[in-house]
Amino acid sequence: MSLNKVLLIGNVGRDPEVRYIDNGVAVAQLSMATTERGYTLPNGVQVPDRTEWHNVVLWRGLAQTVEKYVRKGDKIFVEGQIRTRTYNDKNGKQRSVIEIWAERLELMTKPTATGNTAQPTQGEAPASGGQPSHGDLPF
C-alpha cells in the first residue's frame, strides 16, 4: 500500500495564473507559503520563522474558482498530491519541479471592505469543480 497526500494551510504568494487548454479546460498555478513560527530556546537563542514555498496546480472547476476568488495574500487550505515534473530549460538543461496537484480547496480569507472578491472563510470547492459552498461559518 502507498499514499501520496498533502494538506497545506498557508498564504498565496502571487495572484494565480490561469490559462485554458484543450477544449476550454482551465488550469491554474499559484505559489503558496507555509510558515513554521520561530521560537526561543531555553538558553535564549532565537530560532527564526521558517517559510516553505509550494507550487500548486489546480484543474477545471478548482482553477475557475481560484481565478474568480483567490488573490495574493489570501489564506487557503489545499489538499492534494505531490507530483514531480521534468522539463528542458531554454539552454537544453533538464530541470525538475515539485508541484502540489490540488484535489480540494477551501478559501479561508474573509472578504474585505476594499472590494476583495474572496469568498468567506471555509468556502469549499469540491474536486468535481463546483462553486464554493459557504457552510457554517464560525463568525
Amino acid found at 61:
G
Domain with 15 in it: 6-36+46-125
89: CATH:
2.40.50.140
Cα–Cα distance, 74 to 132 (Å, whole number): 15
Rounded to the nearest angstrom, the gap between the alpha carbon of residue 15 and the centroid of all alpha carbons in its chain is 11
pTM, to two decimals: 0.74
In a domain, 139, yes or no: no
Length of the chain: 139
Cα separation values, 108 from 22, 23, 29, 88, 121, Å = 31, 31, 18, 36, 4
Dihedral, CA atoms, 65, 67, 68, 74, nearest 10 degrees? 90
Is residue 137 pLDDT above 50, yes or no? no
For 3-45, how does the pLDDT look when each residue is reduced to its tens digit (9 = 90+)?
999 999 999 999 999 999 989 999 999 999 999 999 999 999 9
For 47-86, how does the pLDDT look when each residue is reduced to its tens digit (9 = 90+)?
999 999 999 999 999 999 999 999 999 999 999 999 999 9
In a domain, 24, yes or no: yes
In a domain, 138, yes or no: no
In total, how many domains does the chain have? 1
Cα–Cα distance, 3 to 64 (Å, whole number): 27
